[in-house]
Amino acid sequence: MKPTLENALRNGESCELFELDTTAKIVGFDDTRLKFVDVSQEHGVAARVVADGKLAQGYVTKVKELESLVRRVSANTKLCDEVSFTFAPAADFPALELARPEVIAYSFEEMIRSGEQVVKIIKDYDPAIKTTFSISTTTNSVRVMNTNGVDVSYKKAMASYGMVGQLIQPNNIIQLLKGSKGLGLPQDPTVLARELVSDMALAKRTVPFSTGSYPIIFTPEALGDIFMAFVGAVSGDYVAKGMSPLVGKLGDRVLDERITILDDPLHPEGTFSAPTDDEGTPCKTKTVIEQGVLKTWLADRRSAAEMGIEPTGNGLRNTAFEKTKSFTVGVHTDFTNLMMKPGTAQYQKMIEQIDVGLEVHYITGILLGNLINGDFSGNLEVAFKIVDGHKVGRVKDVMIAGNFFDLFSNNIRAIGDTGFWTGSFGGGSGSLYLPHIALDRVEVSARE
């Protein structure tokens, strides 16, 4: 494909190409039945052209049509507005090993074996739990090149799995999700299957709960949902337009001083690690929040130019939510691996120190809040009541509403001493590294 890409580059005045070649293998179980074995192969190139300072873009899956696409995109630039950014200059890129041979070679047989083990653990505990399990490997080959002389490519292999256990009782549906994604071979999925079973044992018992203000422990998965209210606030896309509640607060303390958050695309285990972002800016590690103080924005080239800062290597082509890399998505600012520094509290002690409170695992409806304000709200879909330092059962029909910056400024009781890779919506994306956090007084409303 190389000659075609290079020919295409010559057609645009100032041009950038993003090429992605993906192969994925997936195995899925529907309850005890091994249901499907999938292979997907996808190759496409996205092009951006700037002519007379104006930007237009496009993408194709048929690479032989790339040259004509670039010509069309070039012609479209005259309809567009001027942009203040330029494509990335030639640079050196960090060296990272992201495609482990054992992940690429991970076989369908091994995937099937993992699935059988997971299903057995859950079914042995309770055959009435409807179980779904899928496991996959994805190999991405990425190449970014532009007319400034950038030509950088890398290969990354990821393995992931996810399980759902659903138990339906009269007037009660319990649905538990567990998942993991990483650059290495899947960690033993039976560990999460056992966690799911022990959560299910607890969830079977519904306990009453009243409206009020309580201490709440958020698991890393639940924090993954709530952190959506933070991510936009430091993103150049919103900051440049004055929409972030943090505008004007660079250098100020905006969160509790025990909170330190990094954007670390060079972490050897991060699924969002890469030598380059998706527009050819070298990746680097940034401290976004240092002991509660806002240190930097994250910015792609466009928002960086609008804000008058240097791009931070966060120009990505990720789909929303799942954050799958795709040539069909335009460049925007996003976190790579968002990593929060663990604290000092032992998880068990965090539980023991609560007289009456909750441990929240999964919140639904979080996207429906006014997230850019930092406001989040939702239903505590899976949350356990804690009484006298013990989890006693699941609460139902309890809603939470709050503001991220209020709750995580003045209200932190403890931060767990261990971080976990997780993601929003049950851990799927693997882009977040978070500990447990206990907050002091959180308002919840219950249907009584």
Contacts of other proteins in 131-160 (CB under 8 A): none
Piece in contact with other proteins (CB under 8 A), picked from 8-16, 91-99, 171-179, 293-301: 171-179
Within 227-360, residue ranges assigned H as helices are: 228-231, 236-239, 301-307, 347-352
Instruction: Pick the binder of other proteins from 12, 44, 186, 224 (CB under 8 A).
Output: 44
Minimum distance, C-beta of residue 242 to other proteins, in the bound complex (Å): 6
What gap in Å lies between CA 354 and CA 201, rounded to an integer? 21
Minimum distance, C-beta of residue 365 to other proteins, in the bound complex (Å): 3
Minimum distance, C-beta of residue 431 to other proteins, in the bound complex (Å): 14
Minimum distance, C-beta of residue 290 to other proteins, in the bound complex (Å): 25
Residues 6+ apart with CB under 8 A from 128: 167, 168
Q: What is the total count of residues that contact other proteins (CB under 8 A)?
A: 80
Q: Is 39 in the site for other proteins (CB under 8 A)?
A: yes
Q: Which two tokens stand for residue 301?
A: 């080239």
Q: Which two tokens stand for residue 380?
A: 């505590």
Minimum distance, C-beta of residue 184 to other proteins, in the bound complex (Å): 22
Instruction: Pick the binder of other proteins from 2, 10, 62, 390 (CB under 8 A).
Output: 62
What gap in Å lies between CA 18 and CA 29, rounded to an integer? 35
Nearest residue (CB) to other proteins, 237 versus 277: 237
Run of H or E residues at 172: strand 172-182
Q: Rg of the chain over CA atoms, in angstroms?
A: 23
Question: Which residues 100-129 are close enough to bind other proteins by CB under 8 A?
Answer: 108, 112, 128
Q: Is 36 in the site for other proteins (CB under 8 A)?
A: yes
In eight-state DSSP terms, residue 62 is: S
Q: Is 171 in the site for other proteins (CB under 8 A)?
A: yes
Q: Is 329 in the site for other proteins (CB under 8 A)?
A: yes
Residue for token pair 């130019």: 305
Question: Which residues 385-424 are close enough to bind other proteins by CB under 8 A?
Answer: 396-397, 399-401
Minimum distance, C-beta of residue 69 to other proteins, in the bound complex (Å): 7
Question: Which residues 369-388 are close enough to bind other proteins by CB under 8 A?
Answer: 369-370, 372-373, 375, 377-379, 381
DSSP 196-234: HHHHHHHHTSB----SEEEEEEEPHHHHHHHTHHHHGGG
Nearest residue (CB) to other proteins, 166 versus 411: 166
Of 45, 44, 43, 47, the C-alpha closest to 71 is 47
Amino acid at 56: A
Amino acid at 335: F
Q: Is 324 in the site for other proteins (CB under 8 A)?
A: yes
Of 71, 88, 93, the C-alpha closest to 148 is 88
